[in-house]
Amino acid sequence: MAINLLKGQRIDVGLSQVGIGLGWDPNEGTGFDFDLDASAFMLGENKKLPKEEFFVFYNNPKSPDGSIESSGDDLTGGNSDGDDETLTVDLGKVDSRIQEIVFTVTIHDAEGRRQNFGQVRNSFIRIYNANTNEEIAKYELEEDFSIETAVEFGRLYKRNGEWKFEAMGIGYKGGLQYFVDKYC
């Protein structure tokens, strides 16, 4: 059963393994392919990356502590009818400096290709418990962020040694560079 969290709603995830799934349908019309990207920013107490390698994205598919790993960069959405890109997170392995992990979804070269989420059919991002496959939260990008090109999906954050998830659901009209500027 899918649980759609309201913005700002928080839940405990404990020290489990979680997955971030990003899915969308390929472009069957004219124009460029849709290339959506799921990324993770692993932040210290100052809300910045302790070092660059804690930014997990298509050019850096694994974090230095081995806690986050990408399934790879899907360039078209043709990988699957479900999740086309997955980030797998093992919270037990997260570097002790990391206090927060922010997940984003962006459209590659959205400006050049003149694309937004509203054009990308069946696009979604979700977080689930990877041990039980139970879904924790999901956004329908096509519906919820139709005029946007980047979304801060949510964050895992540590409080008293426990990991919690907060659904953020903030849309932007920018690209991955916007988040890089914010967190690096």
Residue selected from 21, 54, 71, 77 as contacting Ca ion according to rule CB under 5 A: 77
Instruction: Verify binding: residue 73, Ca ion, rule CB under 5 A.
Output: yes
Residue (of 121, 128, 32, 54) closest to 88 by Cα position: 128
Per CB under 5 A, contacts with Ca ion among 87-146 are none
- 26 burial level (CB within 10 Å; 0-12, 13-18, 19+): middle
- What are the Cα distances from residue 49, in Å, to 10, 89, 101, 180? 23, 17, 10, 10
CB of 28 to Ca ion, least distance (A): 12
By CB under 5 A, residue 84 contacts Ca ion: yes
Among 34, 35, 117, 152, binds Ca ion (CB under 5 A): 35
**Closest distance between Ca ion and the C-beta of residue 35, in Å?**
5
Q: How far is the CB of 123 from Ca ion (least distance, A)?
A: 9
Write the DSSP assignment of 78-95 as a string of letters. -S-SS-SEEEEEEGGG--
Provide the binding-site residues for Ca ion, judged by CB under 5 A.
35, 37, 73-74, 77, 84
